[in-house]
Amino acid sequence: MKKILFPLVVLFIGILCSSSKADDGATMTSDNTCFTLWNTCHALTALQDYVADVTDSTSENFIPVQDRIATFDMDGTFIGELYPTYFEYNLLEYRVLDDPAYKDIAPADVRQAAQQIRDFVRNGTKLPDHFDMIHARAAAKAYAGMTLAEFDAYVKAYAAKPVNGFRGMTYGESFYKPMLQVFDYLTAHGFTFYVVSGSDRLLCRSLVQSLGIAPEHVIGMDVVLRSSKQGDEPGVDYTMGTDENLVRTDELIIKNLKTNKVLQIAQEIGKVPVLSFGNSGGDCAMHNYCLANPLRSAAFMLIADDEARDHANREKALALAVQWREAGYYVISMRDDFKTIYGNGVEKVDFIYK
């Protein structure tokens, strides 16, 4: 199968959407050319109506370009997370249990976390409570000592592997194509968007680089970095040399979930978003922060309700949809609202374990 070149696809969509400049300098678009991969639906109409209102300089809800900030969760919001679990969980499982360069030297607690992931995806064994933190600490240890370039290459090498549970794409290609059109639509209307993920920041940067998303627009889980010759000397006392590299350590700084997302947005962006997109309870704090903005704002939740084209649980997704609507969020149904999820030539198949 011929591989899709994502940056070219994004550029092409952007060209289709662009037509003229508004008074505020934003690029105006024709909506019917931007959303070719969407069905007509309530969530899309709500987004288009919102954007039309806040970019109209005569509207009482007009938002200047500099305040048009949108935040997007990553896993399950614009990239697949059901193969059979989060990319970063799959990566840790591979690193610890299958990678011949590491599997025999992994610490016991790291090995235990990786085995818990394997038991979960293969046998349905329930993950321990607060596993997000267990995983975060294990992942910090598993990649400690890697330079930033080495970690980037490691993530991209795994992302080049075929996706378990699908035919016709790699992990690094598993973007929700309709959501990429949202990126282009918002950009063309003068919005700036940020990826705000619970996954490792550097991992996220590696995955979204093919979309042309700048690294400074990615916020995620963080570990402490050190210079390769720094040793235990504090950074405030140590002067890095030109022959040194930055390396990951095993010290976790923050797991970027729930209210931590809000704290990171406040520190790194410095503005409250007016649009927020997510798919899980880990995004509710970010949504609520957005909705509390005095400027007109809106929040959207994707639900994984498409059991034909994705590994989804429709019953669970529909229950969440009720919860999200009650919270004041617009709901995007992957089954009903997306003409395609991953693009032509991608087929859901049974999971295979060796």
What is the reported pTM?
0.92
Out of 142, 167, 192, a domain closes at: 167
Segments forming the whole domain that contains residue 193: 6-81+170-220+253-346
Q: What is the predicted pLDDT for the residue at 33?
A: 77
Q: Output the domain CATH number for residue 179.
A: 3.40.50.1000
Secondary-structure percent of the chain, ordered helix, strand, coil, rounded to 5: 40, 20, 40
Average pLDDT rounded to a whole number, residues 73-85: 96
Q: What is the predicted pLDDT for the residue at 143?
A: 98
32 band by pLDDT with thresholds 50, 70 and 90:
low
Q: What is the predicted pLDDT for the residue at 69?
A: 98
Out of 101, 134, 167, a domain closes at: 167
Residue 243 forms part of a structural domain? no
| Closest among 240, 230, 233, 223 to 148, alpha carbons compared | 223
- DSSP code at position 122: H
Mean pLDDT, the chain, as a whole number?
A: 93
Residue 177 forms part of a structural domain? yes
Q: What is the predicted pLDDT for the residue at 11?
A: 45
Question: What pLDDT, in 10s, does the model give residues 118-141?
Answer: 999 999 999 999 999 999 999 999
**Where would I find the H helices in 98-200?**
108-123, 131-142, 148-159, 177-188
Residue 248 forms part of a structural domain? no
Q: What is the predicted pLDDT for the residue at 28?
A: 47
Q: What is the predicted pLDDT for the residue at 6?
A: 43
* Structural domain total, the chain: 2
Is 152 in the same domain as 177?
no
Residue 217 near residue 201, CB atoms below 8 Å: no
In this structure, what token pair is assigned to residue 47? 């987004």
Residue 254 near residue 49, CB atoms below 8 Å: no
